[in-house]
Amino acid sequence: MKVSDGFDARRLRPKGQGSWRRRIGSTIAALLVASGLLLILA
């Protein structure tokens, strides 16, 4: 039981950080793509 609890805690911590980094990266990429499309269309 203790081992499983420790594993879950370790898994949740890095996963949260990764999601934050992925979210920021995805938002920046989306903004760059949107701006690029607007420049091409305009």
- Encode pLDDT of 1-42 as tens digits: 555 555 565 565 656 566 778 889 999 999 999 999 999 997
Q: How far apart are CA 16 and CA 41, in angstroms?
A: 37
At residue 20, the pLDDT reads: 77
Count of structural domains, the chain: 1
At residue 29, the pLDDT reads: 96
Sign of CA dihedral 30, 35, 40, 42: positive
At residue 6, the pLDDT reads: 55
Q: How far apart are CA 21 and CA 40, in angstroms?
A: 29
Tell me which residue has tokens 């903004």: 31
At residue 32, the pLDDT reads: 97
Which range of residues forms the domain containing residue 19? 1-42
Q: Which residues of 2-11 are buried (b: 16+ CB within 10 A; e: fewer)?
A: eeeeeeeeee
